[in-house]
Amino acid sequence: MINIPTKVSAQLASGLKKYQPILTKARSADVNESDTVTIVVDILSDLFGYDKYSEITSEFAIKKTFCDLAIKIDGKVSLLIECKAIGLSLKDDYARQATNYAADSGIEWVLLTNGIDWKVYKILFAKPIDRELVYEFDMTNMSGKKQSDLEMLFYLSRESRNGKSKNTLEELHVQKQLVNKFIIGQILCTEPVLDCVRKQLRKMSADLKPSNEELKSIIYDEIIKREVTEGEKATEALKKIQKMERLEKVADKVLKTKTVEEKV
């Protein structure tokens, strides 16, 4: 849970209450992209707190074309916004288009929205350029009384991008990289966790003497879904866990050496 300033929390809640019926009505009327952009600009200003005249721009050019919107803070564009008509689903092709725009201009964050659905992407400047969906939400299904909903809004707010807040999109991205099913799946099969499971089983019956390898096989084959233990993301998670374990061993070795030296 993050600490949202009272004033900002009230702003997010009141803005949500104001724009939910507007968005619902606009969807029923199937308004076009231009009118959707107008609503999104108002949301960025009234709900998220950006200055409509100095921080929200539609004049950011990328290779002789203009992106729909951009957030500019202290003269620097930090967020590109790709808007689609409110009745359109946010297809992967749209995200790819926004990714290309961001990559061409060296911008790390992209927001894809149709006013109702909001998807926040982190651009990964690798080879090839890629993107990672950090989080998404449906603004019409949120509640100003629900802390988790306010937090999702807060990460996009002007307050979170003022250079003082610790609760930034970058911090959220790091958290999402660590607190996910792939990392947790790999942690469940580390030696300390397996040792704990084995001890608990022996408390139930002293005759039980399963090995850690047996327990790991049960967890991998019968408990965790295959999608969590196989594939690129699972491999990346395993590498992170193995790196952590190596660092812990080095730290333990240094600590033991230091203890011995102090005794001498």
pLDDT (tens digit, 9 = 90+) per residue, 124-178? 887 777 888 899 999 999 999 999 999 999 999 999 887 666 658 888 777 776 7
Asked which of 106, 136, 164 is the last residue of a domain, the reply is 164
Its domain, for residue 258, covers 181-263
Q: How confident is the model at residue 246 (pLDDT cuts 50, 70, 90)?
A: confident
pLDDT of the residue at 259: 63
Flag whether 175 is in a domain.
no
More confident residue, 147 or 254: 147
**Are 20 and 86 in a shared domain?**
yes
Within 10 A of 178 (CB to CB), how many other CB atoms are there?
A: 11
pLDDT of the residue at 21: 97
**Are 156 and 217 in a shared domain?**
no
CA 28 to mean position of chain CA atoms:
30
pLDDT of the residue at 106: 83
Q: What average pLDDT does the segment 79-85 reach?
A: 92
pLDDT of the residue at 261: 59
pLDDT of the residue at 162: 74
pLDDT of the residue at 257: 64
**Are 93 and 23 in a shared domain?**
yes
Share the mean pLDDT of the chain. 85
Q: Which two tokens stand for residue 85?
A: 């008509």
pLDDT of the residue at 253: 66
Does the pTM surpass 0.75? The reply is no
pLDDT of the residue at 77: 85
Q: Does residue 244 have a pLDDT over 60?
A: yes
Flag whether 172 is in a domain.
no
Strand order in the sheet with 117-124: 56-57, 69-73, 76-83, 109-113, 117-124, 130-138
Q: How many residues would you count in the chain?
A: 264
**Are 188 and 80 in a shared domain?**
no
Contact 33, 84 (CB under 8 A): yes
Flag whether 170 is in a domain.
no
Which range is most confident: 40-49, 88-97, 186-195, 250-259?
Answer: 40-49
Flag whether 140 is in a domain.
yes
Q: What does the alpha-carbon distance between residue 137 and residue 1 come to, in Å, rounded to a whole number? A: 17
More confident residue, 54 or 61: 54
Flag whether 40 is in a domain.
yes
Q: What does the alpha-carbon distance between residue 155 and residue 120 come to, in Å, rounded to a whole number? A: 10
Flag whether 32 is in a domain.
yes
Q: Does residue 251 have a pLDDT over 80?
A: no
